[in-house]
Amino acid sequence: MTRSPADPACRAWLEVDLAGLTRNAERVADHVAPARLVPMVKADAYGLGAIAVARTLDRLEPYAFGVATPREGAELRRGGIERRIVVFAPSAAAEASELLEAGLDGAALSLDSLRKLAARARAEAGRIAVHLEVDTGMGRAGLPAAAAADWAPEVASVLSGGGVSLASVYTHFHSAGTDAAVTRGQLARLRAAVTRLEAAGVDVPLLHAANSDAAMGDRQYHLDLVRVGIYLYGGRRGTEIAGAPADPEGVARVRARVLEVRDLAPGSTVSYGAMYTTSGAERLATLGIGYADGLAWRLSNRGRALVRGIRVPIRGGVCMDVTSVDVSAVSGVEPSDVVTLLGRDGAEEITLAEVAAAAGTIEYEVLTAIGRRLPRCYAGGPDHAAEGSR
Ligand SMILES: *Cc1c(COP(=O)(O)O)cnc(C)c1O
């Protein structure tokens, strides 16, 4: 049974502010119009809950939702999402039936995968809408831009053979938030590849490239669609972009209850390896959250928590299920008090950027690491069907 956060026995949970999510998405939509949104909801919407997020953003009428696997797409279908869903990962021929069954679009990241996907779809008497990725510098997948003259006629011939239809051509930027010159170079290589495709007789219905950083950047990156992920979920944009709209609102808040309050004498040791030793008398609160819940072990002796709106340090090692914080400076802390590990409490906020920096990682990983043990609870959404669980 999933416990509701209102239940004092619920030790830790994730709160998702769907109204804030909507405002972030509207900010992107306003900035890129008439380009349309493709909210990326892969990896369970970066850990926040794909169905609740997609239901909320569906009201903005995005072009599609983006996922990474057919299974993620099928889960959205089961959750009642009827909009176009694109699986932005190499679609193996073996996945053709899953794509057809759930009515998902695929991605072709090589000529070979396009051929096999087409053959498999024809064998099943189906037709898969395919998005063709051009590699302009990411180096992990996509038809190489530099060789477009060679593969463009081949793509034309596969498309004319049936089984697949071309929905869009796209590339992926690797430094949109940090290097405008490099990003413009990637865009130019994409356009040159499209010229080759069109010369080979391929109709390119839609073109796209932008991730969050590029979407919040210059107009030239917007093209027809923008694929946005981290910005929707409160991740800070890159620093390169001048004149971009405001930073997003934080929408994820991780909270935990105080399980115990302990008064330790000077020289007491705390947690595995005695990672911390008290210098004076200290009052520590033991919180019901640990690295199994996604609170990075690297936050040991480094991270912060908000207790009654006051910023306090993590002491000692983050353990699997519990973590200690120093509440000597906060009066009246008691078991079952609610503490914030990510997000706002009163005037103070622990941002995604702050947690990522302290844990030596990126904002994306902070969100996707939030453990499945934490119940998700939603506020500000279009319906309350998903509230309190997921
Ligand atoms: C995840 C993903 C994005 C979104 O990137 P953000 O930096 O989170 O905006 C865009 N495009 C593709 C293909 C992706 O896989």
Task: Determine the number of helices (DSSP H) and then strands (DSSP E) in the chain.
Answer: 11, 20
Domain identity same for 277 and 342: yes
- Quote the pLDDT of residue 91: 75
Residue 8 lies in a domain: no
Residue 12 lies in a domain: no
- Quote the pLDDT of residue 8: 79
CB 173 within 8 Å of CB 184:
no
Domain identity same for 203 and 103: yes
The CATH number given to whatever domain includes residue 299 is 2.40.37.10
Task: Please give the distance, rounded to the nearest whole angstrom, from the Cα atom of residue 45 to the centre of ligand 1.
Answer: 11
pTM given for the model? 0.94
Residue 24 lies in a domain: no
Furthest C-alpha separation in the chain: 79
Q: Respond yes or no: is residue 272 known to be catalytic.
A: yes
The residue nearest atom 15 of ligand 1, judged by CA position, is 88
Q: What is the pLDDT of residues 217-262, one digit of tens each?
A: 999 999 999 999 999 999 975 655 555 567 899 999 999 999 999 9
d(CA 224, CA 26): 17
The CATH number given to whatever domain includes residue 218 is 3.20.20.10
Average pLDDT, rounded, for the chain: 93
Q: What is the pLDDT of residues 297-336, one digit of tens each?
A: 999 999 999 999 999 999 999 999 999 999 999 999 999 9
C-alpha separations of 87 from 91, 226, 249, 338, 364 in Å? 8, 15, 27, 39, 19
The residue nearest atom 13 of ligand 1, judged by CA position, is 88
CB 107 within 8 Å of CB 91:
yes
Residue 9 lies in a domain: no
Residue 51 lies in a domain: yes
- Quote the pLDDT of residue 177: 86
Q: Respond yes or no: is residue 116 known to be catalytic.
A: no
Q: What is the pLDDT of residues 150-205, one digit of tens each?
A: 999 999 999 999 999 999 999 999 999 889 999 999 999 999 999 999 999 999 99
Tally the domains of the chain. 2
CA 312, 313, 316, 322 torsion-angle sign: positive
- Quote the pLDDT of residue 223: 98
Domain identity same for 211 and 323: no
Q: What is the pLDDT of residues 129-157, one digit of tens each?
A: 999 999 999 998 899 999 999 999 999 99
Domain identity same for 221 and 294: no
Catalytic pick from 221, 231, 272, 291? 272
Domain identity same for 181 and 272: no
Domain identity same for 123 and 150: yes
Q: 224: which 2 tokens?
A: 């027809």
384: confidence class by pLDDT, cuts 50, 70, 90: very low
- Quote the pLDDT of residue 236: 74
Give the range of the structural domain holding residue 67, as residue numbers without chain letter.
34-233
